[in-house]
Structure 1
Amino acid sequence: MTGNAAVVLRKPDDVLRLIDSGRIRPKNPVLVKIVALGSIFVDGWDLSSFGLGTVQITSEFNLTNSGISLHSLPFISTVILIGAMVGGLFGGYLTDRVGRTKMLMITLFLLVGATVLSATAPNPELFCLWRFLMGVGVGLDVPVALAFVAEYSAISNKGRNVTMAQVMSTSAAAVAFFAIIPFHFMGIGDQLWRWSIGLGAVPALIVLVLRFIYTAESPMWAAKYEGLDKAAEILRKNYGLEVTVEEDGGRAAQQKERFRPGSLLALFRSPYTARTVLVSILVVCQAAQYYAISLYTPKIFDELFPGDIIVVLVLSGAVNVIGAIGALGCVAGTQRLGLRRLGLIGFSITAGCLAIISGAFHLLAASISVILIALFSAAHNFGAGYVGTAMGTLSYPTAIRGIGGGYTQAITRVGGIIGAFAFPVLLDAQGMRFTIGAIVLAPLVAIAALLLIRWDPVGKDVEEHGDEDTTAPTTVGADRAPTNSN
């Protein structure tokens, strides 16, 4: 159903079924993804910039590699994650409460301001404050961005479209590493980290302008919370449909159809308990390995190629390009293989890479270590990196999707805090080999969880079948709507 086809809306579920069926698509589906997921690009840029700057930041602020204080690199590394955890908990509720569009705008203002202030911070105290606020912005934004994309997508494409976030994040990291190389040749020197972080404000501003011009509310959310008339208005504007509202039983009946935002406890009630447990384990494990390895990739390369910043930048950028290719594989394989299989493949390869690097770190040639780290990045982005996050968005219906996404982001940061804090502490105390070996536990736990809890939301209509057994084996693609490019 495209163009000016006419539809009749009688209840909120009509809107959900219409979009989920794939019979309609927005006028600019690519723009919808770019506008919503642009903040994921900003987040990826910031994380890579901080990873690049850890050596210079440590030197400028005279940081230690242990302890919990404003002068500790492990603590400063986790401040943004603590902020994101706080933002995720509140962001999920606010996403369901005030709507997708308002949150998309508010969070970008916060991200732009915090990015600039972080880059110009004169001392570690202010740097920590701005990094915390940056984290709050990320935590607020990611749940709404993923919910927004999911609610503009048909069931046949929800998984594929949501996992595009991983492509955005990894591509941003690659761009950030390569973009900063000219500034090194300009003689920036020890201030390179400030330029790297500060340049992140440029894509943030671009996304902010695009959101201001093009963003419209999710029709699914509008149908639930603002009524059919508002949902019909959005469908007319963004989908080019002729829409007629014929309410069953008048306005009072429509009010009864609306849902109040759900509570966090709803995620742990039947039928969502097993889904939430699986999501929690997956995101903690993937974040632990990501923030330990990917965040500190420049630091690892600096140990392999000491004193050669250009080699570190080029290799870090190249590894993230390979990671982006892996993320594209995730997007391409989501609907075909499902998130569960992607996770099993990705975590298995990352576990193997980490085990080899740890077991023979001092025996491997530097080039072999680089190849293994690149393979780790590809596998992480192919199957480990966004499987849990995507499940956290796709496993819940519209009424609690924001809460689910917010919880997922908050618990993700727990794993991130473990990885970001533990890596420099263990590295300083035990060395690189032991540190990487300890991280192998993360993918192994994730694999065990995927084998025990056989849930996969790809191809599932969670709006209509939310009471199904979450532990039952999943047939990917069952009851799938016709495919389109939405």
Structure 2
Amino acid sequence: MAHHPLVRGVRDVAALIDGHGRITGRARLVWILVFGGLFLDAYSNAALSAGLAPMTKQMHLSSDQVSLLTATAPALAIVFNPVGGWLASRIGRVPPLLAAKLFALGGALLAAFAGDFTTVWFGRVLVGVAYGIDFAVAMALLAEYTPASLSGRLNLWQGVWYIASTGNLALTLIFFEFDTGADIWRWSVGSAGVFAAALFVLQLRFLVESPSWLATRGRVADAVRNLDRLYGIKAEAGEPEDPADAPAAAKPVGFRQAGVLFRGRYLSRTVLSSVISLDQAMQYFAVGWYLPVISLAIFGESFEKATLGSMTFNAFGIAGGLLSAYAGRRMGLRLSSAAGFAVVLVVLVVMGLTFGHVPTWFAFILPVLFIFGHSAGPGANGKSIAALSYRSEVRALGTGVTGMIGSFGSVVGLYLFPQIKDGLGLGHTFLVLAVVPLSGLITCLLIKWEPTRAAAEDEQPLVGGAAAAPAAR
């Protein structure tokens, strides 16, 4: 009889996945499907952006209504990021992901067939709920599916984000060629519903619950079964050797135990991931208001040319997002974030000092460098570093809290900096905004935590924490 390794708890599960060192077979399909949810989140956001101008014209929206529609999804994500993390800790990773697809589908249908502003807004509420839940859970699940040697691949979500945004813009151009007129925004938003429905069916059929989460709940036999289903890893379920590893000790971590994120060894990790998440969201969504102006100036004021211009900027986001996986592996997530913040800092200072006094080609290069530096560094790491910094039983809550802080940064970027722009002008606004990447850069240099370089002995059982299973994953 062949001898199979014994699994007593989540540490053994993590060791087997790390030792396997590959994402193959069903694990690869599942990995792609989880990333598909992140694609949907980005696509849903881009769908509103691409169709906002014709929607505004058709429905006679005021500037306040436009601002409300724009900020609704990230505002709702502030609440539902931690809710998603809490659900994932309580009931598993897969059920919240499936629920998020249903919310996204409902939101897309409501908006696409809306006859008034209120209905469109309710649709965006559902999209915000889906966005908040999906991102918090998906990053935690991807971290638990991925061998430690391949952890840098989590940063690919940033490239997926820009690919989704570009894909929606391209599809919108196709709809434009079919002479959909002012209803083009309905096609753009409605197409997100098609993706949501397809993803729901595929995830329902193929997703496999995280073996690590199952082990934290004492369901070792189920964890062993899913290791086989995902990776073809043959193992045997055993009894925990230490009473602290017993199922009774594997209590789920909820909001009342969230304080564990802010004490002991987790304090510096939470501060680092939160600052990166907050600052990258603030800088991106603030400068995002300026990119359409550049696009119109470079590519012309027609719908087709402006859309092609936005796709050009996104192309550099795709390149940076894909490079972030390599940079994260070679430099570590902390130092690659610092490098990205440094690039963005220099670009914003130059934009602030030279705005309105440089040739058009130079004005085009600056935001290109901004997008590339952002996506290759902190833009990707803002999500990934949290997913890799916590043990399995607190990971979903940790990514949820970090996502909540990032969503708050999105709202601040969308609302606060446009107000500064109206008061100070665009050039001075860039100089003020430079404080944000400076904050991120300083934090990355001061806090030395690097999850991709962490030693296994770093992950010892929590003392007085919510759970005691001694696992890293």
> Fold match, TM over 0.5?
yes
Whether 2:1 is the aligned partner of 1:7: answer: no
Whole-angstrom CA distance in 2 between matches of 1:63 and 1:110? 25
Q: Secondary structure at the match of 2:235?
A: strand
Alignment of 1:305-344 (within 5 A): 307-344=301-338
Whether 2:404 is the aligned partner of 1:410: answer: yes
Partner of residue 169, structure 2:
177
Could you tell me which amino acid in structure 1 is paired with residue 235 of structure 2? V
Whole-angstrom CA distance in 2 between matches of 1:253 and 1:368? 60
Whole-angstrom CA distance in 2 between matches of 1:437 and 1:183? 39
Partner of residue 219, structure 1:
211
Gaps of 5+ in 1: 66-70, 469-480, 482-486
Alignment check: 8 A CA contact 1:347 1:384 kept = yes
Alpha carbons of 1:274 and 1:168: their partners in 2 closer, same or farther (altered >3 Å)?
same
Whole-angstrom CA distance in 2 between matches of 1:430 and 1:258? 54
Whole-angstrom CA distance in 2 between matches of 1:52 and 1:431? 26
Alpha carbons of 1:430 and 1:61: their partners in 2 closer, same or farther (altered >3 Å)?
farther
Displacement, 1:411? 0.6
Alpha carbons of 1:197 and 1:423: their partners in 2 closer, same or farther (altered >3 Å)?
farther
Whole-angstrom CA distance in 2 between matches of 1:295 and 1:232? 49
Displacement, 1:428? 4.6
Alpha carbons of 1:406 and 1:252: their partners in 2 closer, same or farther (altered >3 Å)?
closer
Displacement, 1:294? 3.5
Alignment check: 8 A CA contact 1:298 1:313 kept = no
Picking from 277, 289, 295, the partner of 1:301 is: 295
Partner of residue 458, structure 1:
452
Partner of residue 149, structure 2:
156
Alignment check: 8 A CA contact 1:283 1:411 kept = yes
Q: Secondary structure at the match of 2:101?
A: helix
Partner of residue 16, structure 1:
14
Alignment check: 8 A CA contact 2:93 2:137 kept = yes
Whether 2:445 is the aligned partner of 1:447: answer: no
Could you tell me which amino acid in structure 2 is paired with residue 42 of structure 1? L
Partner of residue 76, structure 1:
69
Q: Secondary structure at the match of 1:458?
A: helix
Alpha carbons of 1:253 and 1:300: their partners in 2 closer, same or farther (altered >3 Å)?
closer
Alignment check: 8 A CA contact 2:158 2:380 kept = yes
Q: Secondary structure at the match of 1:6?
A: coil
Partner of residue 43, structure 2:
45
Displacement, 1:247? 1.5
Picking from 233, 243, 251, the partner of 2:235 is: 243
Partner of residue 477, structure 1:
none
Gaps of 5+ in 2: 463-471
Partner of residue 370, structure 2:
376
Alignment of 1:83-482 (within 5 A): 83-158=76-151, 160-248=152-240, 254-256=246-248, 258-262=250-254, 263-294=257-288, 297-302=291-296, 307-460=301-454, 465=459
Alpha carbons of 1:191 and 1:371: their partners in 2 closer, same or farther (altered >3 Å)?
farther
Aligned CA RMSD, in angstroms, stands at 2.6
Q: Secondary structure at the match of 1:242?
A: coil
TM-score of the aligned structures, taking structure 1 as reference length: 0.87
Displacement, 1:430? 4.5
Alpha carbons of 1:56 and 1:352: their partners in 2 closer, same or farther (altered >3 Å)?
farther
Alignment check: 8 A CA contact 1:302 1:309 kept = no
Alignment check: 8 A CA contact 2:88 2:137 kept = yes
Identity of aligned residues (%): 28
Between 32-41 and 240-249, the greater mean CA deviation after superposition = 240-249
Deviations 1:383-419 (A, max 9, x none): 0202121111111100100000110111111100011
Q: Secondary structure at the match of 1:386?
A: helix
Alpha carbons of 1:431 and 1:55: their partners in 2 closer, same or farther (altered >3 Å)?
farther
Alpha carbons of 1:422 and 1:62: their partners in 2 closer, same or farther (altered >3 Å)?
farther
Alignment check: 8 A CA contact 1:278 1:449 kept = yes
Partner of residue 30, structure 1:
28
Whole-angstrom CA distance in 2 between matches of 1:211 and 1:325? 28
Displacement, 1:423? 4.4
TM-score of the aligned structures, taking structure 2 as reference length: 0.90
Could you tell me which amino acid in structure 1 is paired with residue 82 of structure 2? L
Whole-angstrom CA distance in 1 between matches of 2:328 and 2:271? 21
Alpha carbons of 1:18 and 1:464: their partners in 2 closer, same or farther (altered >3 Å)?
farther
Q: Secondary structure at the match of 1:121?
A: coil
Alpha carbons of 1:310 and 1:236: their partners in 2 closer, same or farther (altered >3 Å)?
same
* More helix as a share of residues: 2
Alignment check: 8 A CA contact 2:216 2:247 kept = no
Displacement, 1:444? 1.4
Alignment check: 8 A CA contact 1:270 1:467 kept = no
Deviations 1:136-185 (A, max 9, x none): 11111111111111111111112x12211111111111111122112222
Whole-angstrom CA distance in 2 between matches of 1:294 and 1:102? 33
Alpha carbons of 1:265 and 1:467: their partners in 2 closer, same or farther (altered >3 Å)?
same
Partner of residue 465, structure 2:
none
Alignment check: 8 A CA contact 1:101 1:217 kept = yes
Q: Secondary structure at the match of 1:199?
A: helix
Whole-angstrom CA distance in 2 between matches of 1:463 and 1:230? 26
Could you tell me which amino acid in structure 2 is paired with residue 162 of structure 1? L
Whole-angstrom CA distance in 1 between matches of 2:314 and 2:225? 41
Whole-angstrom CA distance in 1 between matches of 2:347 and 2:62? 29
Whole-angstrom CA distance in 1 between matches of 2:396 and 2:72? 24
Displacement, 1:222? 0.7
Q: Secondary structure at the match of 1:204?
A: helix
Q: Secondary structure at the match of 1:141?
A: helix
Displacement, 1:431? 4.0
Alignment check: 8 A CA contact 2:299 2:309 kept = no
Whole-angstrom CA distance in 2 between matches of 1:27 and 1:136? 32
